Amino acid sequence: MNMPVQRRLLLGAAAAAPAILAARGAGAQEAMRITLAGGSVGGAWSAIGNAIGESIRRAVPGSSFSYEPGRDAANVLLVSQGRVQLGIAHAQIALRAIKGEPPFDRAMPNVRAVSLIDSEAAWQALVREGGPVSSIEEIAQKRAPVRVTANLRGTLMALATEEAFAAAGAPFAQIERWGGKTHYVAWNDALDMLKNNQADIITNVVDFPSRQVINATREMPVRMLKLGPEVVAKVNERLGSTPVTIPANSYPFQPEALNTFRAHVILLTSADVPEATIETIVKAMIANFDAIKRSHATMARLEPKALPDTGGVGLHPGAAKAYRAAGLLA
């Protein structure tokens, strides 16, 4: 338990990522060796990350690209330490790393943003039909001994869930005292737990409507857990997230609009990576943006003009230069 959080995160995700060179020479068009730390293999971040890699190979022939499975906080750490050139993470996690706030135990001021990946990743909680509560506020009102899943530790999904329950007067420690149970498990495991009646509420930060949620709940009677505006406001103040409304009937089991909060998923780098390298990467992404959009449904609604909107994380100078050249940044 006394092991520094950065070391624990590295052991949990992508610790074996090799130290590699950002570029072989000063010229922006020199062949590059780039590693990107993303999410689990087969997930949205994996598909998007590999599409970015393909855009780099197309733009700079002879370049090599490798993708490493990772996790939010660990990816930020790997980028900061120069163990990878690129990483995907939520902006809210990156901002905490820059400031040295939990789950990090030291500040990482060299973290920079490259581009937006997704601004519609919304916090969503599913409740079993017939479950003990219909809103997050009811948990504290009833002192309900609910069984809740967050995502894995070191992810924005877990952090957002902790903040939402705390804002509603039902922090995880209190739920345990009421006789409930909290679990830090991957999303697929959470879906299985809900299906097998091992959990009452499962949570995630995903796009909407999530095709995975729709498919997983076809034969599982569920509903959305409601959040009041005060809870949403408190979470946004703590996380730096923003409010969003999931329209009514986005899911077959969701007849009413749902107010919640959303995070920014961004592509990260380090201030130590050469300006020419990041400028080349961003230009490659813009030139091959249609192919990147097709890589996953998450990207389908994204337009090039949104790429510099990185949720408050400062842009790398090379990225800013590329966006200005493309007329996407003043």
- pLDDT score at 78: 97
Question: pLDDT tens digits for 256-265?
Answer: 999 999 999 9
**Rounded Cα gap, residues 120 and 11, in angstroms:** 30
pLDDT over 80 (residue 166): yes
Q: What percent of the chain has pLDDT over 90?
A: 69
Mean pLDDT within 128-151: 94
- pLDDT score at 216: 86
Characterize the bridge pairing of strands 86-90 and 33-37.
Answer: parallel
The end-to-end CA distance of the chain, in Å, is 47
CATH C-level class of 5-117+266-325: alpha beta
On average, the pLDDT of the chain sits at 89
What does DSSP assign to residue 35? E
* Amino acid sitting at position 63: S
pLDDT over 90 (residue 231): yes
> Helix, strand, coil shares of the chain as percentages rounded to 5?
40, 20, 40
Is residue 18 within 8 Å of residue 35, measured between CB atoms? Answer: yes
Is residue 167 within 8 Å of residue 260, measured between CB atoms? Answer: no
Rg (CA), the chain: 20
Characterize the bridge pairing of strands 64-68 and 33-37.
Answer: parallel
pLDDT over 90 (residue 114): yes
3 state SS of 1: coil
CATH topology of domain 120-263: D-Maltodextrin-Binding Protein; domain 2 (3.40.190)
3 state SS of 314: coil
Mean pLDDT within 234-247: 92
- pLDDT score at 261: 96
Nearest of 322, 291, 290, 299 to residue 54 by alpha carbon: 291
- pLDDT score at 155: 87
- pLDDT score at 26: 37
Residue tagged 């894995």 (tokens): 152
Q: What is the band of 3 on the pLDDT scale with cuts at 50, 70, 90?
A: very low
Contacts of 16 (CB under 8 A, 6+ apart): none
Mean pLDDT within 138-144: 97
- pLDDT score at 19: 37
Q: Between these two residues, 244 and 210, which has the higher pLDDT value?
A: 244
Mean pLDDT within 71-84: 95
pLDDT over 70 (residue 18): no
- pLDDT score at 121: 85
Mean pLDDT within 59-74: 92
3 state SS of 161: helix
- pLDDT score at 21: 38
- pLDDT score at 330: 86
- pLDDT score at 74: 93
Question: pLDDT tens digits for 19-43?
Answer: 333 433 334 478 899 999 998 877 8
Is residue 87 within 8 Å of residue 94, measured between CB atoms? Answer: no
**Rounded Cα gap, residues 112 and 259, in angstroms:** 30
- pLDDT score at 299: 78
Q: What is the band of 1 on the pLDDT scale with cuts at 50, 70, 90?
A: very low
**Rounded Cα gap, residues 217 and 242, in angstroms:** 27
Mean pLDDT within 259-278: 96
Question: pLDDT tens digits for 284-321?
Answer: 999 999 999 888 877 777 889 999 999 899 999 999 99
pLDDT over 60 (residue 79): yes
- pLDDT score at 210: 86
**Rounded Cα gap, residues 286 and 18, in angstroms:** 28
**Rounded Cα gap, residues 274 and 252, in angstroms:** 48
- Tell me whether the CATH fold assigned to 5-117+266-325 matches the one assigned to 120-263: yes
pLDDT over 70 (residue 4): no
pLDDT over 80 (residue 211): yes
Indicate the length of the chain as a whole number: 330
Domain ranges for the chain, please list them. Answer: 5-117+266-325, 120-263
